[in-house]
Structure 1
């Protein structure tokens, strides 16, 4: 069974309540009063756990599961073991996510590490800082002059908020986060180690070496943005770096100066975005992708993982590869190269490998 020692179980949810929450339907023979209190994978779940099945690759695990209840799509009902309680969901992933949020609300965003509300006497808070009621500032956090912090926000140990920064309401600022020249909206979550507002990488060749270019812009992060651990976002040079409402950024992402990212985009781990790039709304960028500076990625575009984007990407396009290009073209080229390599293979070439 999954070990949930870091997130205690509550009263749980009945199958009837899960249906109301997720828009699912009771499966044949499923008791509406059946109660689950936890989540788990198919192969480790116990009788109190909810699991999901949406990939035939795991059918063997489904047949042997000890789970209390399974979220399953209509198209997979034929492989459900007889007598196993189940709920029929239109979208299994969305339903499972909704159930998880209800069962473990404490896992949604970082909570105070020391479990204490208010301002710790061991925090360093400048007298000119304007802090609304209901803010938690934990030990060893540093709050600089003229900082503004909205109610319900939690500042974790070791965080440094530099002069003039503004943080909205109900934000979560993780341990050892560093903010400078930054304005945050409401309900922003910054995981541990995030660094925002440092100067971008700007130099010009001079007679004695590289001359530094000043970076005098800001970083503006709108409402409901979440940024993963150890991600860095540089402030603008002569205009602002902007992260749009609802955008989600994974761990270890680098965002350069003057970058503008639209609303509700998703950027996966280890992506690097060079300066002055513009990314539209609803864009999805796969992990370990590099994006050249001064390019535009249109609304709704999708970039495959481990790609290199060297030019503009049209709205709604699906690109991948090095350099990135439309996915169908990329796949044709890969298939052609594979076939060409097979034609050129000889017994001698294989023995040399």
Structure 2
């Protein structure tokens, strides 16, 4: 692809020769004829003498002359567009004969269903959606357009995925919530008759679980991205454009606002409400409502500044103990 063509596709300004660009490379592993993004603060000078064909940079960047550059106002978004242009996704369609599709299922145009996928009764699969090998789509499931359900993912009965939702391998959407009454010395399972709704542009990572609601629906808000091995329990309501990273867990009936970021292995207790624009550090523990935007850390959580002060005190405990003992000796002397 010519640099001028790529620049037009990604909304960048070409500066230099109209070279041929065949691939995209990282700074650490540059291949001949590739485009390299120079977006960081510390760019090795030797990359400009490499075999890269061109460089992607933010407009106004201080770069050496004599090379081919694609300058963009938003270089990060231009990078995403460039990679998509250089590595276009190949969409397949058609139903593999080895797949099972119930007679009452509705399959729209340009849908791909791979071998050994299962699509249950009255399921609806929207235009351009891909159902990969071994995926299970339960009865009465509704999947919108442009979705991808990767191999061996499971969508339980009655769940709804809106448009452009991605569910990665081995994720489970709509399994029973973990709810029991302890009666007469035994655990009595509470029926869960709610469902799961994944709004537009949601992505669910491999091995993650989003449980169905007890009586109401579990909802994952528009644009929210969930990493691998994350647990979202019954009746949880996640806001728009949240990010949940690996092994985070949110207990039942908790809610988040918009633009909430939850770090790896952080936990949120049940019936907790978290307002918008909150960031939870890795391994944070939330046991009560958070009603003020900010960065929180620790168990139970406190402000980042407060948590760092606590850690500093804990690490200084040997010195504190020594000082106390010295004071006691002076007192007894």
The two structures have a TM-score, normalised by structure 2, of: 0.87
Q: How does 1:47-62 map to 2 (within 5 A)?
A: 47-59=32-44, 62=47
Partner residue, 2:55: 70
Would the aligned equivalents of 2:164 and 2:202 in 1 still touch at CA under 8 Å? yes
Would the aligned equivalents of 2:229 and 2:246 in 1 still touch at CA under 8 Å? yes
Q: Which runs of 5+ in 1 are unaligned?
A: 1-11, 347-353
Q: How does 1:222-301 map to 2 (within 5 A)?
A: 222-301=199-278
**Is 1:43 aligned with 2:20?**
no
Q: Which runs of 5+ in 2 are unaligned?
A: 324-333
Assess, with a 3 A threshold, how the Cα gap between structure 1 residues 143 and 90 changes in structure 2: closer, same or farther: same
Assess, with a 3 A threshold, how the Cα gap between structure 1 residues 199 and 19 changes in structure 2: closer, same or farther: same
Partner residue, 2:169: 192
Q: For 1:56 and 1:291, how far apart are their aligned partners in 2?
A: 35
Partner residue, 2:331: none
Assess, with a 3 A threshold, how the Cα gap between structure 1 residues 106 and 301 changes in structure 2: closer, same or farther: same
Give CA deviations for 1:38-74 in whole Å, capped at 9, x if unaligned. 1111121123111122334553664664322222346
**Is 1:92 aligned with 2:75?**
yes
- SS, match of residue 94 in structure 2: coil
Assess, with a 3 A threshold, how the Cα gap between structure 1 residues 246 and 119 changes in structure 2: closer, same or farther: same
Would the aligned equivalents of 1:254 and 1:270 in 2 still touch at CA under 8 Å? yes
Q: For 1:34 and 1:324, how far apart are their aligned partners in 2?
A: 53
**Is 1:206 aligned with 2:183?**
yes
Q: For 2:39 and 2:314, how far apart are their aligned partners in 1?
A: 34
- SS, match of residue 211 in structure 1: strand
Would the aligned equivalents of 1:169 and 1:185 in 2 still touch at CA under 8 Å? yes
**Is 1:105 aligned with 2:88?**
yes
Q: Which among 113, 116, 138 is matched to residue 140 of structure 1?
A: 116
Partner residue, 2:286: 309
Q: For 1:48 and 1:273, how far apart are their aligned partners in 2?
A: 46
- SS, match of residue 311 in structure 2: helix
Would the aligned equivalents of 1:71 and 1:96 in 2 still touch at CA under 8 Å? yes
Assess, with a 3 A threshold, how the Cα gap between structure 1 residues 335 and 85 changes in structure 2: closer, same or farther: farther
Assess, with a 3 A threshold, how the Cα gap between structure 1 residues 174 and 308 changes in structure 2: closer, same or farther: same
- SS, match of residue 97 in structure 1: helix
Assess, with a 3 A threshold, how the Cα gap between structure 1 residues 133 and 257 changes in structure 2: closer, same or farther: same
Size of the alignment, in residue pairs?
A: 322
Q: Which moved more, 1:35-44 or 1:239-248?
A: 35-44
Q: For 2:137 and 2:314, how far apart are their aligned partners in 1?
A: 52
Partner residue, 1:7: none
Give CA deviations for 1:156-204 in whole Å, capped at 9, x if unaligned. 1111111111111221111111111301112211111111111011122
> Which one has the largest radius of gyration?
2
The two structures have a TM-score, normalised by structure 1, of: 0.82
Would the aligned equivalents of 1:290 and 1:307 in 2 still touch at CA under 8 Å? yes
Q: Which moved more, 1:335-344 or 1:216-225?
A: 335-344
